[in-house]
Amino acid sequence: LLLPHKKIGKYATSTTNATLAYLISKNYPFEVKSYKIENETQEEFAKTLAKIQSDKFYYVIAPVTQNGEKEIAKINTDIVIYFPTINKKDASSNEDNFYYGGIDYKAQSEKLLAHAQNKLYIFNDSSLVGEQISSYQERYFKNINPNASVTKYAIPEKTTNLQHQLKDNLRMNASS
């Protein structure tokens, strides 16, 4: 596991848990080692991938950002790398040893927005992915509904309760 804790935060823990659960369920012998990196620079990745290879690991799970994937793509490596956070359509590389498992947010958004009302409220966090998704949704929705109303709410990262935005908010009636 190649884990940029500062960039992906809690997702590092959930990736570790999901990986272990999957491997245990397969009932095969396995060995997992975590390699924590401080930042997503080409130099940091090259150093860590060299260490991984010297430790005799040939498969890496790398839950990195799109920028991290771009930096890894600049490194010539034969290690098989799986990017659970990146969709193939968003990849910067087509290396044979790179695999992608991220959500296709555009396809998902298009399916959902096809059923949306004429008023759309978009809630997003301030992450790069959150901003990209909300911008795409706004553009796409206005393209298929030129007279539609779109309102966006940026939600602070630590917020988990949206009651104050939703409860008794009459402006959201008959909206999606």
pLDDT at position 108 = 94
Q: Are the C-beta atoms of 100 and 91 separated by less than 8 Å? A: yes
Q: Tokens 């990195």: give the residue.
A: 64
User: What is the pLDDT, as a whole number, of residue 51?
Assistant: 97
Tokens at 144, concatenated: 């298929």
Answer for the pair 89, 104: CB distance below 8 angstroms, yes or no: yes
b/e code 62-94 from CB counts within 10 Å (16+ = b): bbbbbebbbbbbebebebebbbbbbbeebbebe
Q: In the chain, which residues have pLDDT < 70?
A: none
pLDDT in the model for residue 12: 82
Task: Give the pLDDT score at 137.
Answer: 95
